[in-house]
Chain A
């Protein structure tokens, strides 16, 4: 008797749904990764650039002053070991059990008491350290709020990272200028402009990517850029900054 195995061929009627399901699952996974990244960036201090012309934090915030001073004010002091800090008991070496005349019950009581004392002292030390950390943080906040002549920024910053988003900073300057120049004659003007800002803060290139067809509006955009350029700070990192901006009247037309 021979056993025959019939190999079942999967036709298109089966393969197509399977392939479809696989592709949908794959794209769903990619979509989920995009919107729910597993890697979380560490929380960074948040700086807000007010669109009303208040003094704006320099995008190069963090440029240090005299190293010693900044280190003193910026870095919270490390906790110093307390003199009264009890040293942790040395690890017990494997001791040979020695005959002892003392009964075992009193030895257990001593060890319990020592452990209790150890825990109490440990908790006192931890509380003291927490209090010291809080005080240092408060002191740093107070000095930051007091301002002074030093630029506000990330503690210990090297000046190469931005304390605030540079693109948002440029946008805020453009919004301020655009409020004083906006003029249009069509119903729903929108123009997309790409700006190139060099390391000195100058606009080296202003390219209209999508025209609105309304010359009056586009001239007002150009005037806004020319006006805002006078207040631009150099981009962080010393490189060329390129970004696109969509200009439109507020509340006119669809978003």
Chain B
């Protein structure tokens, strides 16, 4: 046996030169910084029929908003005078746009036929003069914004490889009717649709993974119970009938289970229910208050809030309740965790001064980064692609819904009106 191993050893020595890395003929090419692509958005043109300024303006506004928020782009604002203003290759001059400093160019046009609108959008790389994306959409007049949002998603897919979230929705709690009701809007604040009309208090909305259902807590039966609503049929069902609080429900990634906080056994603990209300498991067994469960994207772990150490802190446990470990070590009041769909970050709120700010950190607790600083900001929720976060903020006086990029940049208010809007949650892509 010794001779065998010695033979293998010497064979390895003989073959060592082959195993050594061969001298590779490579040179390093490095550059500092991280540049944004200079994107020009040409004014939409009428492809057939008469020009309609309202359609062109709306298309341009939607593109401007989406691309300014997207992140990879810096939208050029200076207008470019074109002698040829077609939208297809060969119908316009790239040199004009190159001279304006554009790296990318969006060209679009529309055709109106009765109540139907057809739009054609194209994305070009100005330097290489290549067409990166070209789509044509047809729909009713009221679908115009959605069609433009769809091409914005396509632009993100062409440039970054991952579709954007611009066609998704945000559900939120609003006091527009005088009560706290749940409404639905486009991510940019348009097309607001009221979902609940029970005249009671409705809180903590959360979408199912397929986006077809919404769970929320409602006091309409004089007890905070969990309800499930099918968005397209409007059917609503009561999920929990337990006395006490049934709050902060969170759909599991598999779409069949719901984690929530219930106080039916005394104090608020984390439970897992089947979506029809049947109890599956109780995950926490302490004298402390446990709330706000948040599933990891793979469904194997749950982040939650517990005051078992005296003040609310974030903890992580396995989906069966085992292996509980502390997540946050900074700050004395940390709440509202939400796991990024990419699984690499967890957003949460920390009490800072007299208000709250939004932070994000790695699932192992490292790289804790503050994302907001203006006013008081709460309830962060991720977009389906993990690029953006929606949250509520009181920076403008009345609470409103904002969106920002995952690194905290590009914060912009999206909710409209004078009501108090809060507890936003971002839908999956529809």
| 16 CB-based A-B contacts, threshold 8 Å | A20-B10, A20-B13, A171-B27, A175-B31, A179-B33, A182-B32, A183-B34, A183-B72, A185-B72, A215-B159, A219-B125, A244-B24, A246-B26, A246-B28, A247-B29, A247-B30
Q: Chain B contacts of A215 at CB under 8 A?
A: 159-161
B309 on the interface (CB 8 Å rule)? no
Query: Are A180 and B35 neighbours in the complex by a CB distance under 8 Å?
Result: yes
Query: Are A245 and B13 neighbours in the complex by a CB distance under 8 Å?
Result: no
Q: A182-B34, A246-B26 are in contact. List 12 more A-B contacts (CB 8 A).
A: A19-B10, A20-B10, A168-B27, A175-B30, A175-B31, A178-B30, A216-B161, A219-B159, A244-B24, A248-B29, A248-B30, A249-B34
Q: Chain B contacts of A249 at CB under 8 A?
A: 30-34
Query: Are A244 and B27 neighbours in the complex by a CB distance under 8 Å?
Result: yes
Query: Are B28 and A248 neighbours in the complex by a CB distance under 8 Å?
Result: yes
Q: Chain A contacts of B31 at CB under 8 A?
A: 175, 178-179, 182, 249-250
Known contacts A23-B13, A27-B16, A216-B160: A250-B32 contact under CB 8 Å: yes
A199 on the interface (CB 8 Å rule)? no
B81 on the interface (CB 8 Å rule)? no
Report how far A222 CA is from B33 CA in the complex, Å: 17
Q: Chain B contacts of A148 at CB under 8 A?
A: none
Known contacts A215-B160, A227-B127: A183-B30 contact under CB 8 Å: no
Interface residues of A in 238-255 (CB under 8 A from B): 243-251
Q: Which residues of A contact B (CB under 8 A)?
A: 12, 16, 19-20, 23, 27, 30, 167-168, 171, 174-175, 178-185, 192, 214-216, 219-220, 222-224, 226-227, 243-251
Report how far A185 CA is from B164 CA in the complex, Å: 14
Q: How far is the CB of A229 from chain B (nearest CB, A)?
A: 10
Report how far A19 CA is from B17 CA in the complex, Å: 17
Query: Are B26 and A192 neighbours in the complex by a CB distance under 8 Å?
Result: yes
Q: Chain A contacts of B37 at CB under 8 A?
A: 183
Known contacts A183-B72, A184-B34, A215-B161: A246-B29 contact under CB 8 Å: yes
Q: Chain B contacts of A182 at CB under 8 A?
A: 31-35
Residue among B10, B13, B31, B35 with max Cβ neighbours from chain A (10 Å): B31
Q: Which residues of B contact A (CB under 8 A)?
A: 3, 6, 10, 13-14, 16-17, 24-37, 71-72, 103, 125, 127-128, 159-161
Query: Are A23 and B14 neighbours in the complex by a CB distance under 8 Å?
Result: yes
Q: Considering only CB atoms, which chain A residue lies closest to B162 in the complex?
A: A215
Query: Are B127 and A226 neighbours in the complex by a CB distance under 8 Å?
Result: yes
Residue among B26, B36, B72 with max Cβ neighbours from chain A (10 Å): B26
Query: Are A222 and B128 neighbours in the complex by a CB distance under 8 Å?
Result: yes
Query: Are A223 and B6 neighbours in the complex by a CB distance under 8 Å?
Result: no
The 4 closest A-B pairs by CB, nearest first: A215-B161, A250-B30, A178-B31, A244-B26
Query: Are A245 and B26 neighbours in the complex by a CB distance under 8 Å?
Result: yes
Query: Are B29 and A251 neighbours in the complex by a CB distance under 8 Å?
Result: no
Q: How far is the CB of B107 from chain A (nearest CB, A)?
A: 19
Report how far A249 CA is from B32 CA in the complex, Å: 6
Q: Tell me whether chain A's interface is mostly helix, strand or loop, or mixed.
A: helix
Q: Considering only CB atoms, which chain B residue lies closest to A30 in the complex?
A: B17
Q: Considering only CB atoms, which chain B residue lies closest to A193 in the complex?
A: B29
Q: How far is the CB of A223 from chain B (nearest CB, A)?
A: 5
Query: Are A223 and B125 neighbours in the complex by a CB distance under 8 Å?
Result: yes
Q: How far is the CB of B158 from chain A (nearest CB, A)?
A: 9
Report how far A220 CA is from B104 CA in the complex, Å: 12
Q: Considering only CB atoms, which chain A residue lies closest to B3 in the complex?
A: A12
Residue among B3, B36, B160 with max Cβ neighbours from chain A (10 Å): B160
Q: Considering only CB atoms, which chain B residue lies closest to A243 in the complex?
A: B25
Query: Are A12 and B29 neighbours in the complex by a CB distance under 8 Å?
Result: no
Report how far A183 CA is from B160 CA in the complex, Å: 10
Q: Chain B contacts of A251 at CB under 8 A?
A: 30, 32
Q: Considering only CB atoms, which chain A residue lies closest to B125 in the complex?
A: A223
Report how far A191 CA is from B36 CA in the complex, Å: 19
Known contacts A180-B35, A182-B34, A215-B159: A246-B128 contact under CB 8 Å: no
Q: Chain A contacts of B34 at CB under 8 A?
A: 182-184, 249
Known contacts A19-B10, A223-B128: A175-B32 contact under CB 8 Å: no
Q: How far is the CB of A34 from chain B (nearest CB, A)?
A: 9
Contact of B29 among A20, A178, A184, A227 (CB under 8 A): A178
Query: Are A223 and B103 neighbours in the complex by a CB distance under 8 Å?
Result: yes
Q: Chain A contacts of B25 at CB under 8 A?
A: 167, 243-244
Query: Are B29 and A181 neighbours in the complex by a CB distance under 8 Å?
Result: no
Q: How far is the CB of A187 from chain B (nearest CB, A)?
A: 9
Contact of A245 among B14, B17, B29, B33 (CB under 8 A): B29
Report how far A214 CA is from B35 CA in the complex, Å: 14
Q: How far is the CB of B365 from chain A (nearest CB, A)?
A: 18
Q: Chain A contacts of B72 at CB under 8 A?
A: 183, 185, 216
Known contacts A182-B33, A182-B35: A216-B26 contact under CB 8 Å: no
Report how far A12 CA is from B33 CA in the complex, Å: 61
Q: Considering only CB atoms, which chain B residue lies closest to A182 in the complex?
A: B31
Query: Are B32 and A223 neighbours in the complex by a CB distance under 8 Å?
Result: no
Query: Are A185 and B160 neighbours in the complex by a CB distance under 8 Å?
Result: yes
Q: How far is the CB of A101 from chain B (nearest CB, A)?
A: 81
Report how far A224 CA is from B3 CA in the complex, Å: 57
Q: Chain A contacts of B10 at CB under 8 A?
A: 16, 19-20, 23
Q: Chain A contacts of B32 at CB under 8 A?
A: 179, 182, 249-251
Q: Considering only CB atoms, which chain B residue lies closest to A255 in the complex?
A: B28
Report how far A12 CA is from B2 CA in the complex, Å: 11
